[in-house]
Amino acid sequence: MKIYGYADAGLPIEQVVPEELAEITVCADPSELRQMAAFLESCAIEMERMGSTYSHVHLADRIKQFESSPHFVVAGSESDET
């Protein structure tokens, strides 16, 4: 597993290049964590079903409550892409 991210520096999205991170911190309430856990489980099921055609999924696209949150994206691992 690798984790990527970038700071919200106000740059246009075309100019933003994600960097590999050593650590992340999620500040959320128990309800949000449970919703994220269910989202991750559904991503795992979808990833297994789709195999190498799985690309990525945005949390806010699946759970509208997270539309104004920082982007949370699940992508297949590099080993799944080959």
Q: What is the pTM of this model?
A: 0.81
Domain boundaries, the chain: 3-81
Selected residue with higher pLDDT from 55 and 79? 55
DSSP one-letter string for the chain = --EEE----S--GGG---EEES-------HHHHHHHHHHHHHHHHHHHHHGGG--EEEHHHH-GGGTTSPP-EEE--HHHH-
> Could you read off the pLDDT of 21-65 as tens digits, one per residue?
999 999 999 999 999 999 999 999 999 999 999 999 999 999 999
